[in-house]
């Protein structure tokens, strides 16, 4: 089956430090891919390159046969990829939901307002419709009745569930999760993972940077082991955790050496 999300030859440096050293990754439609690896290995940067929160120096990202962030131009010197306009980029970003480690809810808006903002402003939905859908989403993430709460009044787990609802409200083609449970107290991690499982079962294509191996093992279709800016190996949870091919993967999986 053809790739739905395709990352090819991605290179990214911060100054002299190369964080991504040519990454290729294909994700099928409806597939859940977990990215694991040591801290500082470039997993989050890879995720942020997909929706262009980070610009990269080489490579390309396509989603549903559409090049993200660039368009092909033909010049005298041959074809080039030129960055698209902000308006065009925003149209593409609207199709890619993102959930952050620190939730990044808008603190001056209620849970409902957080969810409704982008569907109304970006998608142009009528406010009634957006609010009804937002209430449904809140119920789906187990927060019915909390629509009037400001983020500060919610626990970390609740905030993250609102953040997931906010991303889903845009009806994205792809969801990116950047260490969604790393900032949470252990007792509320479960509720966020349950919501993510629900989203995964709904057929959403998901790319998840995580340290939650339980989640990766249970719900991911494939696991990518990432180290020093490169994909070391990729496989099913069974392969990667039980019979890793590479020594580095073996060390990581057995020793659980992450900081």
Partner 1 sequence: MILATLSPPPAAVTSPLQARPHPWRWVSGAVLLLGLAWLGTVLARSPGLQWSVVAQYLGSRTILLGLWATLWLTCVSILLGFALGTGLAMARLSRNPVLQGAAWVYIWFFRSVPLLVLILFAFNIAYLVPQISIGLSGRAPLLSMATNDLLTPMGAALLALVLHEAAYAAEVVRGGILAVDQGQFEAAMALGLSPRATMTRIILPQAMRAIIPAAGNQLIGLLKGTSMVSVIAVGDLLYSAQSVYSRTFQVVPLLIVVTIWYVACTSLLSLGQYYIERHFAQGALRQLRPMAWQRLRARFGPASVEA
* Residue carrying the six token digits 């994700």: 27
CA distances from 227 to 81, 212, 224, 248 (A): 28, 17, 10, 8
Q: Would you count residue 55 as binding partner 1 (CB under 8 A)?
A: no
Question: Which residue, 181 or 222, has its beta carbon nearer to partner 1?
Answer: 181
User: Smallest distance, Å, CB 98 to partner 1?
Assistant: 4
Q: Would you count residue 150 as binding partner 1 (CB under 8 A)?
A: yes
User: Smallest distance, Å, CB 197 to partner 1?
Assistant: 22
- Any residues with CB less than 8 A from the CB of 198 and at least 6 apart, and which? 140
Environment class of residue 82 by beta-carbon count within 10 Å: exposed (0-12), middle (13-18) or buried (19+)?
exposed
* CA gap 129, 116 in Å, rounded: 9
Under the phi-then-psi rule, with left for phi > 0, alpha for psi from -120 to 50, and beta for the rest, what region is 68? beta
User: Smallest distance, Å, CB 41 to partner 1?
Assistant: 20
Q: Residue count at the site for partner 1 (CB under 8 A)?
A: 32
Span of 28-36, 67-75, 118-126, 140-148 interacting with partner 1 by CB under 8 A: 118-126
User: Smallest distance, Å, CB 48 to partner 1?
Assistant: 8
- Residue 113 sits at the vertex; the CA angle it makes with 112 and 119, to the nearest 5 degrees, is 100
Q: Would you count residue 43 as binding partner 1 (CB under 8 A)?
A: no
**Contact flags string 76-105 toward partner 1, x per CB under 8 A:** ----------xx--xxxxx-xxx-x-x-xx
- Residues of this chain that bind partner 1 (CB under 8 A): 51, 53, 86-87, 90-94, 96-98, 100, 102, 104-110, 117-118, 121-122, 150-153, 166-167, 170
């Amino acid at each position: 089956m053809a790739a739905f999300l395709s990352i090819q030859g991605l290179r990214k440096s911060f100054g002299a430090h190369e964080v991504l050293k040519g990454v290729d990754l294909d994700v099928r439609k409806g597939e859940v891919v977990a990215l694991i690896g040591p801290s500082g290995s470039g997993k989050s940067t890879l995720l942020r390159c997909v929706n262009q929160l980070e610009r990269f120096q080489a490579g390309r990202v396509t989603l549903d046969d559409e090049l993200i962030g660039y368009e092909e131009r033909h010049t005298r010197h041959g074809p080039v990829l030129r960055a698209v306009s902000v308006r065009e980029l925003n149209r593409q970003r609207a199709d890619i939901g993102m959930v952050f480690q620190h939730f990044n809810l808008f603190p001056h808006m209620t849970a409902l307002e957080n969810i409704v903002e982008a569907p109304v402003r970006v998608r142009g939905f009528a406010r009634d419709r957006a609010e009804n859908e937002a209430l449904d989403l809140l119920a789906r993430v187990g927060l019915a009745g909390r629509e009037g709460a400001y983020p500060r009044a919610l626990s970390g787990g609740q905030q993250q569930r609102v953040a997931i609802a906010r991303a889903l409200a845009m009806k994205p083609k792809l969801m990116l999760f950047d260490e969604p449970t790393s900032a949470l107290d252990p007792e509320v991690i479960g509720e966020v993972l349950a919501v993510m499982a629900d989203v995964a079962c709904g057929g959403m294509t998901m790319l998840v940077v995580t340290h939650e191996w339980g989640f990766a093992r249970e719900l991911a279709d494939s696991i990518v082991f990432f180290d020093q800016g490169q994909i070391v190996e990729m496989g099913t949870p069974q392969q990667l955790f039980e019979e890793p091919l590479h020594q580095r993967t073996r060390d990581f999986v057995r020793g659980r050496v992450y900081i």
